[in-house]
């Protein structure tokens, strides 16, 4: 039997505000436990919440970027449940009148086709405290209690773990462009839960779903979904029922385990938060927020393709983060040739490699745009080899010097001088008679091996093009 997975994602984002959602406590990460608390976020009797305006603005910004309809009239509700990390015994959230509804996010499928995923709602709420479990006891830190959270709920419109991964990557990229959250899963500022059910291929009705929690990376989301598809398919094949429940991802054993049967909305006894008035969002307010939304990744990608002749693939890599996009665009604009391919190849090749291996953005490498362009020009004029240029780049990052100085200091200028190269070629041919035979027997690859030997002999300084020409001539005469 073949099944179609039906997946919906719930993403929780910490908004990057200075203070908490309903009080003036700091939101700074990593401070002394319970040092950022007050009567409001500790739920003392008689304390009153006041909504943080920046949290509301950030929430609206995300909702608009996700094409949601902003609700003119919105209110907060109490979601009641009892848990040690929840000092008030309720969480201020939004129930029937959320900030926004009915948006969508477009994700790129393999092959570049776009798929539109519905966004059911985007609403504001507050985070709970953090429990730290020890061997024989648990500790509680309330610094996190009251930090503004944005909940982004997708429709169950994703049909594979790969699509779920693409949705998360695309969403994260947009949020980073909006500059409203760190999106750091390790610090818990981006968290994701997933709903998943299976149905027979072609069937309309949804199957029974499980909710997956405690996935600490996008990779874990993908793995947990993959595991869950197999688990549910096995149950269905054996004609057993899938139980509606919440399951936790066990990262050690790579499996999901049952946590509890799923609560229904009525279990939370939602009712309107009496200490906060409803909010009316005027069209002027929405227009004002709209103006603060920058060009988003997808639009930027399309513009890079149109304006600079980049491929979709290259453009998508370069616009993944706003910092990289800005840095790349400056390099491409200032590169003087009409054909931007050489600078683009360096950006998505060696420069991105250096940034990835340092886990930083391109601009954080500390290399000036003009120096990068200078380096690419050296290669294009064939004054240094590609191999040598890569080592110059590493040196530029390490000692912050110009490419010209490094090339001179390290004596890396390319040998294009035919006379000296002829000598080197002669020696290498003498040392490798087998390769000459191979070449004559029709093995074209043998010539690349010989080029490699000469590059080695010259410490990467020989001009490979010239070497190849000499080799070809001498081998056909040999
Ligand atoms: Zn507080």
pLDDT reading at 478 higher than 70: no
Q: Kindly tell me if the per-residue pLDDT of 468 is higher than 70.
A: yes
**How much distance in Å is there from the Cα of 51 to the middle of ligand 1?**
12
Tell me which of 234, 269, 290 is where a domain ends.
Answer: 290
Residues 322 and 205 in one domain: no
Q: Specify whether 330 is located in the same domain as 238.
A: no
Same domain, 286 and 314: no
**Cα 473 to ligand 1 centre (Å):** 79
Distance from Cα 174 to the centre of ligand 1, integer Å: 29
Q: Assign residue 427 the CATH number of its domain.
A: 1.10.10.410
Identify whether residues 223 and 367 lie together within a single domain: no
Q: Which of 387, 409, 431 is the last residue of a domain?
A: 409
CA 25 to centroid of ligand 1, rounded, Å? 4
Q: What is the pLDDT of residues 307-357, one digit of tens each?
A: 998 999 899 999 988 999 999 999 999 998 888 999 999 999 999 999 999
pTM across the whole model: 0.84
Kindly give the distance from the C-alpha atom of residue 188 to the centroid of ligand 1, in angstroms, as a whole number.
Answer: 19
CB contact at 8 A, 374 and 407:
no
CA 44 to centroid of ligand 1, rounded, Å: 10
Contact 51, 21 (CB under 8 A): yes
The pLDDT score that the predictor gives to residue 396 is 92
Q: Residue 450: in which H helix or E strand, if any?
A: helix 446-457
Residues 259, 124 share a domain: yes
What is the Å distance from ligand 1's center to 12 Cα? 20
Centre of ligand 1 from the C-alpha of residue 289, in Å: 27
457 and 374 share one domain: no
CB atoms within 10 A of CB 427: 13
User: Could you read off the pLDDT of 144-194 as tens digits, one per residue?
Assistant: 999 999 999 999 999 999 999 999 999 999 999 999 999 988 888 999 999
Q: Which domain holds residue 349?
A: 297-409
Residue 42 alpha carbon to ligand 1 centre in Å: 7
Confidence of residue 387 (pLDDT cuts 50, 70, 90): confident
Q: Tell me, yes or no, whether 397 and 425 share the same domain.
A: no
Measured in angstroms, how far is the CA atom of residue 217 from the centroid of ligand 1?
Answer: 29
Centre of ligand 1 to C-alpha 374, Å, is 53
Rounded Cα–Cα distance for residues 227 and 215 (Å)? 13
Give 22 Cα–ligand 1 centroid separation in angstroms: 7
> How many structural domains is the chain composed of?
3
Long-range residue pairs from 365-370, CB within 8 A, at least 24 positions apart, any chain: 365/397, 366/397, 366/400, 367/393, 367/396, 367/397, 367/400, 369/327, 369/330, 369/331, 369/334, 370/334
Co-location of 31 and 172 in the same domain: yes
In this structure, the answer to whether residues 403 and 430 fall within a common structural domain is no
Alpha carbon distance 171, 218 (integer Å): 12
Are 269 and 392 found together in one domain?
no
User: In this structure, is the dihedral angle defined by the CA atoms of residues 16, 21, 26 and 31, taken in order, positive or negative?
Assistant: negative
Same domain? For 257 and 338 the reply is no
pLDDT, position 411: 74
Q: Check whether residue 423 and residue 375 sit in a common domain.
A: no
From 118, 127, 75, select the one nearest 99 (Cα to Cα). Answer: 75
128 C-alpha vs ligand 1 centroid, how far in Å?
A: 12
For the stretch 415-436, pLDDT in tens is 767 778 888 888 888 998 888 8
Domain final residue, candidates 354, 381, 409: 409
């Amino acid at each position: 039997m073949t099944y179609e997975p039906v997946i919906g994602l719930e993403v929780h984002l910490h908004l990057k505000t200075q203070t908490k959602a309903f009080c003036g406590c700091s939101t700074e990460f990593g401070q002394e436990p319970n040092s950022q608390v007050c009567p409001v976020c500790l739920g003392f009797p008689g304390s009153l919440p006041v909504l943080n305006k920046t949290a509301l603005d950030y929430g609206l910004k995300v909702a608009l970027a996700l094409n949601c309809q902003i609700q003119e009239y919105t209110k907060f509700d109490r979601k009641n449940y009892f848990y040690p990390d929840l000092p008030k015994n309720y969480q201020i959230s939004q129930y029937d009148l959320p900030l926004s509804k009915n948006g969508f996010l477009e994700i790129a499928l393999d092959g570049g086709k776009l798929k539109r995923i519905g966004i059911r709602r985007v609403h504001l709420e507050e985070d709970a405290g953090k429990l730290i479990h020890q061997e024989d006891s648990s500790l509680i830190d309330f610094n996190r209690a009251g930090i503004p959270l944005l909940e982004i709920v997708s429709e169950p419109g994703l049909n594979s773990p790969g699509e779920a991964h693409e949705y998360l990557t695309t969403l994260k990229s947009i949020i980073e462009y909006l500059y409203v959250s760190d999106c750091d899963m390790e610090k818990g500022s981006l968290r994701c839960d997933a709903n998943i059910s299976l149905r027979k291929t072609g069937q309309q009705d949804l199957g029974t779903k499980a909710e997956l929690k405690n996935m600490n990376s996008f990779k874990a989301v993908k793995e947990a979904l993959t595991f869950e598809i197999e688990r549910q398919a096995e149950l269905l094949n054996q004609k057993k029922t899938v139980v509606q429940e919440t399951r936790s991802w066990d990262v050690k054993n790579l499996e999901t385990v049952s946590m509890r049967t799923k609560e229904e909305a009525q279990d939370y006894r939602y009712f309107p938060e009496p200490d906060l008035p409803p909010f009316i969002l005027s069209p002027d307010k929405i227009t004002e927020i709209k103006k603060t939304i920058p060009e988003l990744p997808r639009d930027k990608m399309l513009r890079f393709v149109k304006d600079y002749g980049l491929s979709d693939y290259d453009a998508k890599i370069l616009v993944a983060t706003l910092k990289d996009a800005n840095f790349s665009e400056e390099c491409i604009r200032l590169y003087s040739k009409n054909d931007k391919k050489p600078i683009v190849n360096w950006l998505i090749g060696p420069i991105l490699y250096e940034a990835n291996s340092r886990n930083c953005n391109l601009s954080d490498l500390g290399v000036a745009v003009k120096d990068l362009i200078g380096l690419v020009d050296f290669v294009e004029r064939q004054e240094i080899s590609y191999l040598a240029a890569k080592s110059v780049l590493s040196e530029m990052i390490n000692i912050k010097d110009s490419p010209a100085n490094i090339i001179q200091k390290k004596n890396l200028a390319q040998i294009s001088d035919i006379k000296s190269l002829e000598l080197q070629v002669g020696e290498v041919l003498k040392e490798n008679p087998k390769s000459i035979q191979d070449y004559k027997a029709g093995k074209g690859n043998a010539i690349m091996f010989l080029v490699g030997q000469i590059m080695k002999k010259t410490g990467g300084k020989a001009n490979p093009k010239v070497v190849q020409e000499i080799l070809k001539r001498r081998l056909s005469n040999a």
